[in-house]
Structure 1
Amino acid sequence: MTHPYSNLPAMAFWRAAVAETAAEAVSDIYRPKFPLPADATVATAGSCFAQHVGQALRRAGLDVLDAEPAPFGLAPDIARKHGFDLYSGRYGNIYTARQMVQLLDEIGAGIPDPAHVWTRKNRFHDAFRPGLDPQGLDSIEEVLAIRNRHLARVGAMLRQADVFVFTLGLTEAWRCRDTGRVYPSCPGVIAGEYDPARHEFVNFRYPEVMQDLAEMRARLQDLNPQMRFVLTVSPVPLAATATGGHVLPATQWSKAVLRAAAGDFADAHADVDYFPSYEIVTNPAAHGAFFAQGLRQVTARGVATAMGAFLSAHGLVTKDAPPEDALSDPDDVICEEALLEAFGK
């Protein structure tokens, strides 16, 4: 007897493709929807895991755009703490699709809002990039001037990008009740003051994420009609949840929503691809080896496996690669959300 499962390839069966295959040797997991030429200009943004994506693409020789390079002579570790060399713009971690849509709207308007400047110890912070100047700035005017320059440079950069790689990280966020703007961190964690009359918790559902992805794509293609997109989902678990429940199911719920939305959105658009970095890093065949101690940050081995699969599928190879233990130090990843762990008992 024959049936639809009779002649399927090995990759369709769990035992052959997962249980009996080393996690580093996973193959056929990603078949690109469109090619990524070696001369493509790439822009990256998203949650903490997207920092690894940009690093890997640069090592492969791709032209990863940088709208705001670090000042000459600034030590690399200091530069990263101030938001340089993390993404294609100094926008810090963009954890939600809603946050990205807001940034694009602000680029279109070109007018930063002084209502979203936070204070801490008489210093001033950009509420949408609170961790990028750890010591804060001297005045509200300085924050707004730097943000205005940031918006102009990021807008110019995005107009040049052939491909935009965006990593979805969270569904949970904190929102200003008056303006509807969401922040990358809860007011009061890094700077600012939490006020329940002004701030509210939001956990974006699947329809909202899908709508945000649609608006993100539309706004980016207004800047560059030829732009294509690669979506990924961060495998990094939530550091904490504000849902009132346990962090484990909250993490699984969040990642399920993001994974479903990213996959469905890619299926619906010929110019949007989905790369399964989430599936590669969380593969049971790795037996947890792709997560560092603490079970949140992805190890160098995990990053190398995920990004190796991406580059290999596109016919690209890493040039002058450093040893595996230098590929991706979890402690080098800049992540505001990780600060929440300090409040755990």
Structure 2
Amino acid sequence: MNAFRTEFTVPVSPWKLTPASRVVSLGSCFADVVATRLTDARLSCLHNPFGTQFHPPALFRLIRAALGETEPDGRLFLQHDGRWLHYEVHSSVAGATREELEEELRRRLAVLGEALRTADILLLTFGSAWVYQLQEPPVYVANCHKQPSGLFVRDLISVKDICRDFGKTYQLLKELRPDLRIVLTVSPVRHGKDGMPDNAVSKSILRAACHYLTTDYSDVGYFPAYELLLDDLRDYRFYADDLLHPSRQAEQYIFEKFAGAYFDSALHRWLAEWARIRKSLDHRPFNPASEAHLSFLRKLLQSLEEWADGPDTSAEQEEVRKRIAAILSSSNLS
């Protein structure tokens, strides 16, 4: 028994990610943790095209808009510090004019919609059950964009609210992508500005909602990112300097648990192979025009081409081909 931690087993999922799987990852912090690592490994993964989304209603609204059920609310555009923003998206999505922002929102919705229609896994990370409602119009917003607090009313959504809203979104998703599988997580990041008692209430609502959703839908699973940090890694050495966010070490540990639960054997092999390939791509030989280096590059290209039906390594393959061509053009090697 480990005297300093309380480890627990993460159940292995009956459905797996493969090297060819397409993933959409939306929501709060863990959505970015998983997506960044998948993208770095050249897997197909779209994540947070509208920036971080903290609460479920904002996530569900964007998904339905991307699938054509709704459009961005025209009443929710605002101008702040010389930029146009929209209350349904993060402040990183902005425009110099309203028309520019409208066009950008349409473009990103189209990208998200296409990704959802072809996705194998949709990962949704819920960050908070506390929401802010504009007083006029009375709409829950995804981001307050540093507007005066008097414009908003703070509210707490319920488990029933989340489950009902998820149901409408789920039905639309499954009509367009019947084979889609959904993985829910709760962000382990404490929302300090809410105060710790209110944060605890918020996380408990999100966790309870996930429990009921995984009970009600056979193709919806739950990954315990929240529990892994707060129960398994319950020590401040696993936190960043703000003592709220997980450290990089903790993020890697949680990701490895996710991989153990959701990656098939081929994807595990690819990740190991990709680590070797990246090291090879960074290799700079003492004699770059040698026969030995040419042979090294050809083997590297072959390794990349063997995964033609999986991750997109076209950029890396092109780079290696250019290196080979450069050696051949400057020498008598063939």
Give the TM-score category using the shorter length: 0.7 to 0.9
How far apart in 2 are the matches of 1:214 and 1:180?
A: 22
Match of 1:276 in 2: 224
CA 1:302/1:186 → structure 2, altered by over 3 Å: closer, same or farther?
same
Match of 1:341 in 2: none
Task: After TM superposition, give the deviation of residue 114 of structure 1 in Å.
Answer: 2.6
Residue 200 of structure 1 is aligned with which of 145, 153, 160? 153
How far apart in 2 are the matches of 1:168 and 1:259?
A: 9
Match of 2:124 in 1: 166
1:154 pairs with 2:112? yes
- Amino acid aligned to 1:226: D
The 8 Å contact of residues 100 and 216 in structure 1, kept in 2 or not, is answered as: no
The 8 Å contact of residues 12 and 260 in structure 2, kept in 1 or not, is answered as: no
Task: After TM superposition, give the deviation of residue 128 of structure 1 in Å.
Answer: 2.0
Q: Normalising by the residue count of structure 1, what TM-score does the alignment of the two structures yield? A: 0.71
Match of 1:176 in 2: 134
Q: Which runs of 5+ in 2 are unaligned?
A: 280-334
Match of 1:330 in 2: none
How far apart in 2 are the matches of 1:127 and 1:194?
A: 14
Match of 2:255 in 1: 307
- Give SS of 1:283's match: helix
- The aligned runs of 1:218-297 (5 Å cut-off) are 218-241=171-194, 247-283=195-231, 285-297=233-245
Task: After TM superposition, give the deviation of residue 153 of structure 1 in Å.
Answer: 1.9
The 8 Å contact of residues 110 and 152 in structure 1, kept in 2 or not, is answered as: no
CA 1:33/1:182 → structure 2, altered by over 3 Å: closer, same or farther?
farther
CA 1:28/1:111 → structure 2, altered by over 3 Å: closer, same or farther?
closer
Match of 2:22 in 1: 41
1:52 pairs with 2:33? yes
More helix by share: 2
How far apart in 1 are the matches of 2:106 and 2:150?
A: 27
Per-residue CA deviations over 1:296-332 (Å, capped at 9, x if unaligned) read: 1111111111110111233443444599xxxxxxxxx
Residue 212 of structure 1 is aligned with which of 125, 149, 165? 165
Per-residue CA deviations over 1:26-59 (Å, capped at 9, x if unaligned) read: 4522321422233211111011231101112334
What's the C-alpha RMSD, in Å, of the aligned pairs? Answer: 2.5
Q: Which has the larger radius of gyration?
A: 2
Per-residue CA deviations over 1:129-152 (Å, capped at 9, x if unaligned) read: 24214xx53221111121122222
Match of 1:3 in 2: none
Identity %: 23
How far apart in 2 are the matches of 1:173 and 1:297?
A: 20
Match of 1:327 in 2: none
CA 1:272/1:141 → structure 2, altered by over 3 Å: closer, same or farther?
same
